[in-house]
């Protein structure tokens, strides 16, 4: 199949899932065309079946904000036509599903419209998508998609409850490359960071408010106050970084918290981690937690969104009420103090991650594509 994948190119989960899916589809012999305003972060090597189409859009004095959605729709018309795409798969509803619909309406005139599938990832439904300034367009664009998938049961249910959706949503979860994300020998690295055998707690995110990175600092501080020698490694970057740094200064723990910024080889850092912290205020799946679990790292998370579908309380880690950093700190400290329990949780985490093995999930997408291609009528 000739498949177009529209995505955000950034550090976030939807872009990672879309890129890894495209690479997996290319490995199965499909021709994959990535379409975005910049090269996706994880698209870093040549593959004969993969092309990247950059969406350029011009500034004009009248536009305070150049209309990316229109530029994308125009590019899609060209790419669908000249690359002879069979199917378009857009990741994150805003504005991708709307641009896909518009492109198809243009192509319909000449009988060249193709089916498009929208994958809902998270805040396109739970935060920004349901904002009154976007909600009616999001509802319309989801309903006009020829297929719709959501990354967890939670997200599917939220979509039905927040919008008037008149079609079936298929749940296809996030997935993981178990070969890449596995614990590897990095003791030299651990020794350099923690010369006295300190424990390592890790958090990875885009430092947006919804990730509650400050909560990771409170959890970590609780662990330190319980007499555990430890370091906190914070990966990623974003709007809340300043606030988090300030909190570390107030708590006088700056020498124990390292801001490592955006990292490509997250699996190397996860290989030396003892615990992964994800206290998010909204998380429809939690790909970062899955990456940690695949590297045999137990997870302390909030019990919201899709996280309970991934992290199993008392088995692969612990889940606590949103914002209850004392409870999270208590669970973290108790697990770090109990080597035998930690080893069991670590094993369980990896085993749980195996359920999300990428080839199974990519095969699910492929069979869904086939189903949509065979039953679709352009709306």
Whose Cβ is closer to ligand GMT: residue 3's or residue 16's? 16
- In this structure, what token pair is assigned to residue 295? 């590297």
Residue 339's CB is within 10 A of a number of other CB atoms, namely 9
State residue 198 phi and psi, 5-degree precision. Answer: -65, 155
Q: Could you tell me which of 129, 145, 122 has the C-alpha nearest to residue 283?
A: 122
Q: Least distance from C-beta 111 to ligand GMT, angstroms? A: 34
How many CB atoms lie under 10 A from the CB of residue 166? 8
Q: Compute φ and ψ for 192, nearest 5 degrees.
A: -65, -40
Q: Are 9 and 40 in contact (CB under 8 A)?
A: yes
Residue 199 CB, shortest distance to ligand GMT, in Å, is 26
* Residue that is written with structure tokens 């593959």 in the block: 47
List residues near ligand GMT by CB under 6 A. 8, 12-15, 17, 121-124, 151, 174, 210, 282-287
Q: Which segments of the chain are extended strands (E)?
A: 2-6, 31-36, 50-54, 87-91, 116-120, 147-150, 170-171, 199-204, 230-235, 257-261, 275-278, 299-302, 317-320
Q: How far is the CB of 202 from ligand GMT (least distance, A)?
A: 17
Least Å distance, CB 238 to ligand GMT, is 11
Cα 296 from Cα 348, distance rounded (Å):
8
Q: Which is nearer to ligand GMT, 175 or 222 (CB)?
A: 175
CA distances from 287 to 103, 132, 336, 344 (A): 31, 28, 23, 22
Give CA–CA dist 166/6, Å, rounded: 23
The nearer residue to ligand GMT, 31 or 282, going by C-beta atoms, is 282
Cβ proximity to ligand GMT: between 70 and 210 the closer is 210
Q: How far is the CB of 280 from ligand GMT (least distance, A)?
A: 6
Nearer to ligand GMT, 22 or 286 (CB): 286
Q: Minimum distance between the CB of residue 109 and ligand GMT, rounded to whole angstroms? A: 33
Instruction: For the CB of residue 12, give the shortest distance to ligand GMT in the complex, in Å.
Output: 3
* Closer Cβ to ligand GMT, 9 or 298, answer by number: 9
**C-beta closer to ligand GMT: residue 4 or 13:** 13
- What are the helix (H) ranges across 83-186? 96-108, 123-126, 135-144, 153-162
For 225, other C-beta atoms within 10 Å of its C-beta total: 11
Burial class of residue 16 in the structure, from the number of CB atoms within 10 Å of its CB (0-12 exposed, 13-18 middle, 19+ buried): buried
Choose between 274 and 283: whose C-beta lies nearer to ligand GMT: 283
CB of 76 to ligand GMT, least distance (A): 20
């Amino acid at each position: 199949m000739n498949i177009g994948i529209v995505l955000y190119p950034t550090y976030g989960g939807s872009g990672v899932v879309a890129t890894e899916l495209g690479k997996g589809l290319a490995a199965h012999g499909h021709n994959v065309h990535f379409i975005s305003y910049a090269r996706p972060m994880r698209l870093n090597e040549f593959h004969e079946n993969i092309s990247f189409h950059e969406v350029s859009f011009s500034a004009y004095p009248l536009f305070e904000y150049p209309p990316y959605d229109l530029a994308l729709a125009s590019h899609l018309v060209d790419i669908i036509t000249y690359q002879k795409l069979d199917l378009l798969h857009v990741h994150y509803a805003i504005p991708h599903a709307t641009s896909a619909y518009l492109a198809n309406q243009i192509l319909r005139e000449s009988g060249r419209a193709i089916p498009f599938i929208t994958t809902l990832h998270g805040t396109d439904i739970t935060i920004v998508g349901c904002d009154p300034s976007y909600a009616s367009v999001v509802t319309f664009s989801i309903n006009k998609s020829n297929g719709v998938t959501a990354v967890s049961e939670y997200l599917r249910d939220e979509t039905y409850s927040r919008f008037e959706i008149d079609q079936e949503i298929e749940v296809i979860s996030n997935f993981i490359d178990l070969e890449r994300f596995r614990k590897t020998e990095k003791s030299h690295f651990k020794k350099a960071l923690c010369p006295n055998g300190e424990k390592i707690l890790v958090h990875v995110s885009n430092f947006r408010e919804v990730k509650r990175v400050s909560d990771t600092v409170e959890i970590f501080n609780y662990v330190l106050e319980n007499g555990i020698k430890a370091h906190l490694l914070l990966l990623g970057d974003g709007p809340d970084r300043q606030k988090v740094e300030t909190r570390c200064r107030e708590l006088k723990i700056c020498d124990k918290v390292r801001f490592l910024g955006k990292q490509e080889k997250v699996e190397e850092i996860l290989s030396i981690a003892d615990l992964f912290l994800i206290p998010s205020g909204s998380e429809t799946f939690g790909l970062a937690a899955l990456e940690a679990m695949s590297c045999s790292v137990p997870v302390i998370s909030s019990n919201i969104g899709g996280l309970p579908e991934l992290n199993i309380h008392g088995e692969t880690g612990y889940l606590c009420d949103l914002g209850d950093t004392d409870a999270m700190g208590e669970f973290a400290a108790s697990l770090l103090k109990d080597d035998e329990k930690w080893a069991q949780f670590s094993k369980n985490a990896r085993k749980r991650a195996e359920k999300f093995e990428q080839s199974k999930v990519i095969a699910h997408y492929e069979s869904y594509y086939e189903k949509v291609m065979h039953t679709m009528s352009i709306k």
